[in-house]
Structure 1
Amino acid sequence: MSFIAYDPLLGAVKLTDIDPTGPGPSNLVAGTGSSRMNFSMEVLRGYDPALGGGEFVFAQSGGTIAAGTVCQFNESLSAAGVIVDTAVAWAGTANSGDVLGVAMAALTVGQWGWFQVGGHAVVTCQGAPVAGNPVYWQAAGVVSPTLVASKQMEGAKFATAPAITLGSGSTAVVLSATQAVLLLNRPSAQGNIT
């Protein structure tokens, strides 16, 4: 889909853009950055005519990620003492409590991009979900309505079945049989139950 965001500091941002070198003023000063003042886990709001409003965060890819992959964010500390949030396909570790988001674009290791954490997001799925179904981990970065103990995606539910048409006319987008829409509200993986 074509989410577009506008921020007073960043200007108009196409949320499928990829930044190969990383965020923030340190790379801007060195002349190697994206020329935008983005920071790790920075929040940005955007809008798509068919999906409505959404909320997005900026993070670095820790592996090859396809658009629509449900990702977990792993934190590390750089040699310069900077916290870096790295996105990888959700591994489905039971009771992990991982913070989750959906990749807006295909990324390779080290690239920076936007991940959706709020609103309606197109995701890769398996099975036959319908609107209102809960969301569970199924495979690396892939979700399903099929219950998997201790691996629920909390703060999310299916908003559509797969293979629907979003929009109309020349701007219509037809999802594949492995794509559906989730409603996200800052999702996380299920944590421990005590």
Structure 2
Amino acid sequence: MRKALIILLLIPVVALTQTKEELDFVAPMSEGVAAIKKGNAWGFIDAEGNIFVDFREDLVLTKTDFGHYPIFRNNRCLISVKKEGVLFFGYIDKTGKTVIEPEFLNAQNFNSKQALVLKLMKEELGRNEILGKNIIYHRYFEVIIDENGNVKTYLNPKGVNVVLDKKSIKKPPKITSKEISKKLYAVLNKNKKWTIIKIEN
């Protein structure tokens, strides 16, 4: 009788306990979620310990006081994908769905429902009849996007010329502008001096 009573008392405890084993890293909770690592892949658990973004290898790590791991900000998490050897950045939401396609040469986490990214633009200047190829010109711009990926403001309207191949872009170009507040940004010009730009939301 005593054994049966002990077993009956243990069943609810065992039934309610869920464990995630063999994890290589567990991040602190942020926005109600925590990043977890297994091998080279990362996923996310909620406050109940349920995995809601399964393990994947395209999540971008952010440097924090507690280490390097992916994070959600404004329901957006950075992802990266290589296309022909060049890294492009986009965002997923908390369902794991890609909500902003990987099309930026670099990108930062969202803050106040907007993010700084390097938007790539392609322009065809004409055609080289001898080579039988179109002459394509690439340039990237530091821009502020909203949560849907729409450009709100160009911070460097002239842009920066870039050769779009893996030999020329071995690592993502740096984002030099800085957010000061939701409406103020500091933009570094060609003379290495700062300009303060006020944007309207």
Decide which structure has greater strand share.
2
TM over 0.5: no
TM-score, with structure 2 as normaliser: 0.30
TM-score, with structure 1 as normaliser: 0.31
Q: Which has the higher contact order (CA 8 A, sep 6+)?
A: 1
